[in-house]
Amino acid sequence: MEEKKSFEEAVRTILTIIGEDPDREGLLKTPQRVYKAFLHLTQGYHQDPKEILGEALFSSTNDEMVLVRDIEFYSLCEHHLLPIIGRAHVAYIPDGKVVGLSKIPRMVEVFARRLQIQEQMTEQIADALMETVNPKGVAVVLQARHMCMEMRGVEKICSTTVSSALRGVFKENLKTREEFFSLVTSPQPNRF
């Protein structure tokens, strides 16, 4: 496990550079913990979102919007390696096939568990769904807080970034687009 050893040594070096003692009691296992955390936080590099979606495609006559909203996600900013914390809203209009509902959050997670910028992640989710399910259209909205803006830099803790990606009928048809945005912004119904 040369890779693991190199990673842990890099963490020890970082700790030393910032003025810490990597041999003090509280930091002795930090390099191993950081290594395991980064394996988890970047596991999306080893997963194929199209494969996940393709595992649960079913024939259907439904041709109305399917929306999975408020999908929580955590990612890492590729510029600073700081957290991005947000929610994804993903909709599509079937064209002969529907995808198992749990596969949409799983697909979001694959892209979130990579170093990201929010704009690119929004596009990646829309494109994967469009290419794998072949629906009449796809709409994706991500709303997120970026710790690179809150913990450093401009330090604006109440800012939220919203990005969207529209494909097919969501881009072409104003009424479909308006219905999507209305559903995404409507108050959350009471939980069952």
- Helix, strand or coil, per DSSP, at residue 176: helix
- The answer to whether 124 and 86 have CB atoms below 8 angstroms apart is no
Active site residue 158: no
Q: Which of 20, 47, 80, 123 is catalytic?
A: 80
Active site residue 77: yes
Q: Which of 9, 72, 78, 178 is catalytic?
A: 78
Q: Which of 43, 79, 131, 172 is catalytic?
A: 79
Amino acid identity of residue 111, one-letter, is F
d(CA 65, CA 94): 7
Active site residue 124: no
What the block records as the tokens of 119 is 């704009």
- The answer to whether 21 and 31 have CB atoms below 8 angstroms apart is no
Q: Which of 109, 116, 118, 124 is catalytic?
A: 118
Active site residue 79: yes
Active site residue 179: no
SS (H, E, C) 50-116: HHHHHCCEEECCCCCCEEEEEEEEEEEECCCCCEEEEEEEEEEECCCEEECCCHHHHHHHHHHCCEE
- Angle between helix axes 103-112 and 118-133 (nearest 10 degrees) is 140
Active site residue 148: yes
Q: Which of 20, 47, 148, 179 is catalytic?
A: 148
Strand partners, 168: 137
Active site residue 78: yes
Q: Which of 77, 89, 109, 116 is catalytic?
A: 77
CB within 8 Å of 186: residues ≥ 6 apart = none
Catalytic residues: 77-80, 118, 146, 148
